[in-house]
Chains A and B, each alone.
Chain A
Amino acid sequence: MKLELCGIRKTFGRLVANDDVDLTVEKGEIHCLLGENGAGKSTLMNVLFGLLRPDSGEIRLDGEPVRFANPGEAVRRGIGMVHQHFMLVPVFTVAENIVLGFEPTRALGWFNRKKANADIVRLSQEFGLDVSPDAIVEDLPVGVQQRVEILKALYRDARLLILDEPTSVLTPQETLALFAVMRSLATSGRSILFITHKLKEVLAVADRITVMRLGRVVGTTTPETADEKELASMMVGRSVELVVQKAPASPRATVLELRGLVVEDDRGLRVVDGVDLDVHAGEIVAIAGVQGNGQTELAEAIAGLRPIAAGTVRLDGRDLSSASPRDAIRAGIAHVPEDRQTDGLVLALSVADNLVLDIYDLAPFARHGSRDLATVKSNAGEKLADFDIRASDAEVPVATLSGGNQQKVILARELSRPIKLLLASQPTRGLDVGSIEYVHERIVAERDKGVAVLIISSELDEVLALGDRIAVMYRGRFTGFCDPSTGREQIGLMMAGVLDESAALAAGAAEGADPASSVTLSRGSVHP
């Protein structure tokens, strides 16, 4: 299906989120939409999908002008959308989620589960989207949940599929699998609008690329004529350092000390299995690993959010093994959680309130149990400017910020109090290249101030760019430490569990011999 957007304009109060946007997607084309955080990409997609009404402008499908009052109408005209933040019902099965609203029924409106399951199996085989119809969605890793979202759109016979930052939560292997699916969809004549911040992906998969900045289209190009640098500067309007410049680390005293740490997940499985680690003041340790190898639980244990089954956590020599989250914060740990919307922010509260979420009861933000809202507000003003957070006002709910700007709110909050350890999981997930550059600079600046930094990232580029030392985590253990000069391939193999220094030494350790297992590895599938 051919899509034309003509002169779309959408404002929120004084903020112009889309300003006269023109965009054409041809039939069978994979069209990438690129743009910095808050450029208006999601807004444009929400307009197209009938979630927002444009102030002016026209949408044409195969040349015919259309108007959608709600997503239902958009779906009926063959548009499918996979949102930046998924919209599945966590307690429903895969099949129930996919057919929701379009359920096959028997006589008297009874839900025909058999037919639903059969339809889904057929669809998933046709496009190579592997899911099991009876699985409960909340038990599935994000990569699979995403497949469910895509199947949902295909089940509704989408001929134009919108994918809003689908890869920011995927492992590299999952991303490759997604690209294969996208290509097969395009070959079958469907059009795809694909939003991402990862320039490598854009160059790998796009037929054409449209770049947006500050609500406007700044240009359209193709992967043949543009490279990463060029795309980055088109997006941000200046040239961007894709790899942060930093001086060699000068590590000092040990700040974080983990000894024999064992952590269990919610189902009681040992997902962190005897980990030893020292992080020194003035150095950045980056933990690389395919998501689901215990990194999340490791971070939660250090932050006091998850009880420790065995071993110790020490901060500056102080035992924090049984600390509460509050103790950990007060002891000087800054924590950037992996899932910003669930753990990092209160979406309905203002940006200003979210910027003091973990220090709201301390001076100068409160005195004698009474909040000082003027200070909270002026603090917000400073942070919005410092971190270049794009919000029309500090009093708007943080939910109205773009995904990347939401992430910056968390970073701004965590980096603006005196800390000893910065513990960040996926710190730049969903950020544009300009913001990544900035956040990386801030993290390096924290290091240079003498903060110990522990980064957990499934982004190999990030690990290599930031880490002074790199630890590779596989199945709940560190399979090796290396420095950033180690080759990508070698680290990649270690992440897949193929190369394992300690195991090699211990001779004959059975684990990790199967590289394929890392591809389908899901959270908690470790050491049953």
Chain B
Amino acid sequence: MTTEAPTGEAAPQASSIGSEQPPSGDAPGQQRGKAAFVKLLRRLSEANVFVVTVLAIFSALVLGAILILVTTPAVLHSWGRIGSRPGAAFSTSWRTIAAAYSAMFEGSLFAPSAISHAVSTGHGWTTALTPISETLVSATPLILAGTGVAIGFSTGVFNIGAQGQLIAGALGALFVGFEVHAPIGVHLPLVILGGAAGGAIAGFIPGVLKARTGAHEVITTIMLNYVFLDLLTYLLTTAPFQQPGQANAISRTMPSTAILPHLFGSTLRVNVGLLVALAVSLGAAWFTRRSTAGFSFRVIGLNPSAGRTAGMDVRRITILVLTLSGALAGLAGMATLSGTDFFLSTGYGGNIGFDAITVALLGRNRPLGVLLGSLLFAALITGGRYMQAYTGVDLDLTTVIQAIIVFFVATPALVREVFRLRDQGEGPTRILTKGWGG
């Protein structure tokens, strides 16, 4: 994955070929307009990251539409009678797809009718904004954990343990939640720190193991996922974590001073956790691009022996990266606990820790890419639920669409082939293998 980097970065270079103006010709303004247009066409026909991603989403939606068609009985029925009523087959197909995808849109962003109703009457804003609020709520932990995973990946550290770190973070936040008693202005920041600390500890362990013993982080973090999952199950049946007076494996509930306040009134669930996620995302973007530590992380990710020769401490950085990565996953656990769930139960966190890996890949390990990837993923999930409820198209289809998007994004060569894009990545990057510097 890291070897891909130069291709992407070399892109703007190659794209300037031929964009210079011809020496003479028509009016200069017209010339410039034409040149700019040619340049734009070139850009679009090149397989850069952005174009590939957009085309991947497009392809996934097309394949998803085909799946909807072949799994909807009414559509199959109408195609069965294509001979007698050809128009009906097409119109039924079209209606089915349109209904499914507009349900997905309305369920994840907004329904135009609800918005216009709210604008004209001044009422019903809550209903109109609920879908987008839900999307933002689902995106919050993905942004946090995904950014953590991405920082690891771009440093060459494959943290597969976001799930366990998320649980550790939730436990940390919960502990601070019920152990500390303070006004919200003090308590809530401590809860947030507790979440980060829990995740950081869970990341620190594989970090130290790797730096001191060379144990590979993929193995240790995967195994630690099970450790934290079972630790949670155990803690949920023991004091002080278990809800007093409960026989079930359910934790105590977060007190009101430890809860992330809603941003837009009590009925929309979008909460301060989103602001934390946005701050982390911006912070991570600054960190990777501008900070000295972020630079050393990148160097170690790309070429550890050059980093070592330049005086960077590879072990220290490995520990730091895993700790930081864990802390962000821990914040994700805090955000779901203090933002929407308020207590923990067995198997907490669902699939967030693994979806985080996917959005990190989708966002090409860049913080702002992860942010966009998380929003897309969250929209597909909330929209998919709505689609299932209103059109009967199975929620699994959304999962399939997600998978296809990731599949295409991960194989740019395939997208290039399908859409006949020009390959912009030629050059020595292809022949970059380890050599002896002749």
Cβ contacts under 8 Å, A344 to chain B: 306, 309, 437
Which of A169, A329, A397 lies in contact with B9, CB distance below 8 A?
Answer: A397
Cβ contacts under 8 Å, B430 to chain A: 51
B296 adjacent to A360 (CB under 8 Å): yes
B310 proximal to A (CB < 8 A): yes
Cβ contacts under 8 Å, B438 to chain A: 84-86, 164-166, 168-169, 403, 429-430
A324 adjacent to B313 (CB under 8 Å): yes
A341 adjacent to B2 (CB under 8 Å): no
Cβ contacts under 8 Å, B298 to chain A: 349
B73 proximal to A (CB < 8 A): no
Smallest Cβ-Cβ distance to B18: which chain A residue: A11
Which of B2, B10, B295 lies in contact with A371, CB distance below 8 A?
Answer: B295
A369 proximal to B (CB < 8 A): yes
Most buried by B among A12, A353, A406: A12
B436 adjacent to A12 (CB under 8 Å): no
How many Å lie between the Cα of A499 and that of B338 in the bound state? 78
Known: A346-B302, A360-B292, A397-B9. A12 touches B433 (CB 8 A): no
In the complex, chain B residues 393-431 whose Cβ is within 8 Å of any chain A Cβ: 426-431
A87 adjacent to B427 (CB under 8 Å): no
Which of B17, B290, B292, B312 lies in contact with A13, CB distance below 8 A?
Answer: B17
Closest CB of chain A to B436's CB: distance in Å?
5
Cβ contacts under 8 Å, A84 to chain B: 435, 438
Q: Which of A21-29, A110-118, A332-340 has 4 or more CB atoms under 8 Å from chain B?
A: A332-340
A85 adjacent to B313 (CB under 8 Å): no
B432 proximal to A (CB < 8 A): yes
Most buried by B among A53, A329, A369, A399: A399
Cβ contacts under 8 Å, B5 to chain A: 348
B309 adjacent to A337 (CB under 8 Å): yes
Q: Looking at chain B, what size class is its interface with the partner chain?
A: 35 or more
A6 proximal to B (CB < 8 A): no
Contact string, B1-31, partner A, CB cutoff 8 A, digits 1/0?
A: 0110110011001101100100000000000
How many Å lie between the Cα of A340 and that of B305 in the bound state? 11
Cβ contacts under 8 Å, B292 to chain A: 360-361, 366, 369-371
Interface of B is mostly: helix
In the complex, chain A residues 313-334 whose Cβ is within 8 Å of any chain B Cβ: 324-326, 328-330
Closest CB of chain A to B104's CB: distance in Å?
38
Contact string, A157-168, partner B, CB cutoff 8 A, digits 1/0?
A: 000000011101
Which of B20, B302, B307, B426 lies in contact with A52, CB distance below 8 A?
Answer: B426
How many Å lie between the Cα of A341 and that of B306 in the bound state? 8
Which of A85, A325, A361, A370 lies in contact with B437, CB distance below 8 A?
Answer: A85
How many Å lie between the Cα of A429 and that of B310 in the bound state? 20
A87 adjacent to B433 (CB under 8 Å): yes
B302 adjacent to A349 (CB under 8 Å): yes
Closest CB of chain B to A395's CB: distance in Å?
8
Task: Count residues of A near B (Cβ-Cβ below 8 Å).
Answer: 66
Cβ contacts under 8 Å, B296 to chain A: 360-361
Cβ contacts under 8 Å, A338 to chain B: 437
Closest CB of chain A to B295's CB: distance in Å?
5
Closest CB of chain A to B38's CB: distance in Å?
16
Cβ contacts under 8 Å, A85 to chain B: 431-438
Closest CB of chain B to A223's CB: distance in Å?
23
Known: A13-B17, A85-B436, A357-B310. A348 touches B295 (CB 8 A): no
B311 proximal to A (CB < 8 A): yes
Smallest Cβ-Cβ distance to B20: which chain A residue: A14
B303 proximal to A (CB < 8 A): yes
A399 adjacent to B434 (CB under 8 Å): no
A485 proximal to B (CB < 8 A): no
Which of B295, B309, B428 lies in contact with A360, CB distance below 8 A?
Answer: B295
Which of A324, A341, A346 lies in contact with B299, CB distance below 8 A?
Answer: A346
Interface of A is mostly: loop
B311 adjacent to A396 (CB under 8 Å): no
Smallest Cβ-Cβ distance to A341: which chain B residue: B437
A348 adjacent to B428 (CB under 8 Å): no
Cβ contacts under 8 Å, B306 to chain A: 342-346, 357
A377 proximal to B (CB < 8 A): no
A340 adjacent to B10 (CB under 8 Å): no
Closest CB of chain B to A363's CB: distance in Å?
11
B293 proximal to A (CB < 8 A): yes
Closest CB of chain B to A378's CB: distance in Å?
17
A429 adjacent to B312 (CB under 8 Å): no
How many Å lie between the Cα of A266 and that of B428 in the bound state? 31
Known: A347-B432, A400-B10. A326 touches B312 (CB 8 A): yes
Cβ contacts under 8 Å, A184 to chain B: none
Which of B3, B10, B426, B437 lies in contact with A342, CB distance below 8 A?
Answer: B437
Known: A83-B431, A400-B428, A403-B437. A371 touches B13 (CB 8 A): no
Cβ contacts under 8 Å, B429 to chain A: 397, 399
B77 proximal to A (CB < 8 A): no
B431 adjacent to A13 (CB under 8 Å): no
How many Å lie between the Cα of A441 and that of B88 in the bound state? 84
Cβ contacts under 8 Å, A343 to chain B: 305-306, 308-309
Closest CB of chain A to B48's CB: distance in Å?
15
Cβ contacts under 8 Å, B302 to chain A: 346-349
Closest CB of chain B to A362's CB: distance in Å?
9
Known: A346-B302, A347-B432, A403-B437. A13 touches B13 (CB 8 A): yes
Cβ contacts under 8 Å, A360 to chain B: 292, 295-296
How many Å lie between the Cα of A444 and that of B3 in the bound state? 38
A399 adjacent to B437 (CB under 8 Å): no
A11 adjacent to B17 (CB under 8 Å): yes
In the complex, chain A residues 132-167 whose Cβ is within 8 Å of any chain B Cβ: 142, 145, 164-166
B436 adjacent to A142 (CB under 8 Å): yes
How many Å lie between the Cα of A360 and that of B290 in the bound state? 11
Cβ contacts under 8 Å, A392 to chain B: 13
A348 adjacent to B435 (CB under 8 Å): no
B71 proximal to A (CB < 8 A): no
Which of A52, A339, A353, A369 lies in contact with B436, CB distance below 8 A?
Answer: A339
Q: A337-B309, A342-B434, A361-B295 are in contact. List 14 more A-B contacts (CB 8 A).
A: A51-B430, A51-B431, A52-B426, A84-B438, A325-B309, A339-B437, A341-B437, A345-B306, A346-B302, A347-B6, A357-B306, A396-B13, A399-B429, A400-B427
Return 27 A-B CB contacts under 8 Å, by A number. A11-B17, A13-B17, A46-B428, A84-B438, A85-B436, A85-B438, A86-B433, A86-B436, A86-B438, A88-B433, A165-B438, A168-B438, A325-B309, A342-B305, A342-B436, A346-B299, A347-B303, A348-B2, A348-B303, A349-B299, A360-B295, A369-B291, A370-B291, A397-B6, A400-B13, A400-B427, A429-B437
Q: State the 7 A-B residue pairs at the shortest beta-carbon distance, nearest first.
A: A85-B435, A326-B311, A340-B437, A358-B310, A361-B292, A348-B6, A168-B438
